[in-house]
Amino acid sequence: MVILGAGPAGLVLGNLLQTSGIDCVVLERATRAEVQARSRAGFLAPNTVRILDRHGLAEGLHRHGREHATCEFRTEDGRFRLDYAALGRGERHTVYPQHALVTDLLTRYLDTGGQVRFGTEALTVRDADSTRPTVTARDADGRTGSWRGRYVAGCDGRHGAARRSLPPGAVRRHHLDHGVSWLGLLAEAPPSLDAVGYAVHPRGFAGHMARTPEITRYYLQCERGTSPDAWSEDRIWDELSLRMRAADYGPLHRGPVVHRAVIDLESDVLEPLRHGSLLLAGDAASLLSPSAAKGANLAVLEAEILALALIDDLGHGDPTGLDRYSARCLEHIWRAQEFSRWMVRLLHGAPGPDGESMFQDSLRRSRLASLGSSRSCQDWFAEHYVGV
Is 360 in contact with 344 (CB distance < 8 Å)?
Answer: no
**Same domain, residue pair 120 and 255:** no
- Long-range (24+ apart) CB contacts under 8 A made by 369-375 are 369/77, 371/73, 371/80, 371/82, 371/346, 372/73, 372/80, 375/87
Q: Is residue 76 part of a domain?
A: no
**Same domain, residue pair 106 and 254:** no
Q: Is residue 83 part of a domain?
A: no
User: Looking at residue 8, what DSSP letter applies?
Assistant: H
DSSP of 75-118: ETTEEEEEEGGGSTT---EEE--HHHHHHHHHHHHHHTT-EEET
**Same domain, residue pair 212 and 313:** no
Q: How far apart are CA 86 and CA 67, in angstroms?
A: 14
Give Cβ neighbours of residue 214 (< 8 Å, ≥ 6 apart).
Answer: 188, 189, 190
Beta bridge partners of 209: 217
Q: Is residue 74 part of a domain?
A: no
What CATH number has the domain bearing residue 310?
3.50.50.60
Pick the closest to residue 4 from 161, 109, 144 (CA basis). Answer: 161
Beta bridge partners of 138: 121, 144
Is 231 in contact with 242 (CB distance < 8 Å)?
Answer: no
**Same domain, residue pair 190 and 163:** no
Q: Is residue 312 part of a domain?
A: yes
Total number of domains constituting the chain: 2
Beta bridge partners of 241: none
User: Looking at residue 200, what DSSP letter applies?
Assistant: -
So what's the pLDDT on residue 355? 64
* Amino acid identity for residue 202 in this structure: P
- Active-site annotation, residues: 68, 198, 290, 294, 385
Q: Is residue 348 part of a domain?
A: no
**Same domain, residue pair 199 and 282:** no
**Same domain, residue pair 22 and 40:** yes
Is 321 in contact with 330 (CB distance < 8 Å)?
Answer: no
DSSP of 252-286: PPP--EEEEEEEEEEEEEEESSEETTEEE-GGGTE
**Same domain, residue pair 97 and 8:** yes
* Amino acid identity for residue 95 in this structure: V
CA 311-317-322 angle, 5° bins: 60
**Same domain, residue pair 22 and 127:** yes
- Residue 71 in 3-state DSSP? strand
Structural domain of 221:
178-265+355-386
**Same domain, residue pair 136 and 123:** yes
User: Looking at residue 350, what DSSP letter applies?
Assistant: P
**Same domain, residue pair 150 and 217:** no
Across the chain, the runs of DSSP E, i.e. the strands, are 2-4, 25-27, 43-44, 66-68, 70-75, 78-83, 93-95, 115-117, 121-126, 134-138, 144-148, 152-154, 172-187, 196-199, 206-210, 216-222, 257-271, 274-275, 278-280, 286-287
Q: Is residue 31 part of a domain?
A: yes
What CATH number has the domain bearing residue 204?
3.30.9.10
Residues of the chain short of pLDDT 70, as ranges, are 352-355
Give Cβ neighbours of residue 88 (< 8 Å, ≥ 6 apart).
Answer: 378, 379, 380, 381, 382, 383, 384, 385, 386
**Same domain, residue pair 11 and 123:** yes
**Same domain, residue pair 144 and 111:** yes
Q: Is residue 86 part of a domain?
A: no
So what's the pLDDT on residue 265? 95
Q: Is residue 85 part of a domain?
A: no
Q: How far apart are CA 34 and CA 44, in angstroms?
A: 22
So what's the pLDDT on residue 352? 65
